[in-house]
Amino acid sequence: MKQRIFMYLFIFTVLVILFQYFHSKRLLEGLNTKVNAYDTQIGIYKDSIVAQQHSMLDLLHFNLENNEDALSYFETKGFQVDSLVPYIKDQLYALNEVPDEHPLIPYAASSGRKMMINSVKLLNHKWMIADFSDGEFWGELFLTYEITETQEVTFHVVESFLYPFN
């Protein structure tokens, strides 16, 4: 009788060990597939981050704040570069307050509205681009600008276009 109890205990123990082994093996394989899937996702995310960084560097290429030659041009003229960019933008935005038509936008606004410059990007120490609208029509300007010794900013429209109305 004792022998049978020990034999049954031994068989039961072997069965429990086999169950634990196969169950653990299945769990481990499932976790390994999840880890592999996460590794591929991380690889995809890293690739997209690198692509975004390259895209951002391309966007920063034509930007006054990152153009050392343009900044040194202003520094040799004695201008404070940190406050110069907002000053130039403010001078351009101040033209939005002129009554009647905007002096730089060569297009007439729709009835009861006024063309105004919305955003500006300074490309270097001589050029900038701006977009304008009256809420119904939209367009863009390519401008040159010059800062006189009295710190007055003069703007000249080089090219402009108006998007077609749909």
Which residues in the chain land under pLDDT 50? none
Using a 10 angstrom Cβ sphere, with 0-12 exposed, 13-18 middle and 19 or more buried, the burial of residue 84 is buried
Per the CB < 8 A criterion, the answer to whether 117 and 105 are in contact is yes
Of 147, 120, 131, 139, residue with least CA distance to 65: 120
- Report the pLDDT value the prediction gives residue 1, as an integer from 0 to 100: 76
The pLDDT, as a whole number, for residue 33 is 93
Alpha helices in 62-109 (DSSP H): 68-76, 81-94
Backbone angles phi and psi of 126, in degrees to 5: -135, -20
Give pLDDT, residue 26.
Answer: 93
Q: What pLDDT, on a 0 to 100 scale, did the predictor assign at position 144? A: 96
The whole-number pLDDT of residue 139 equals 94
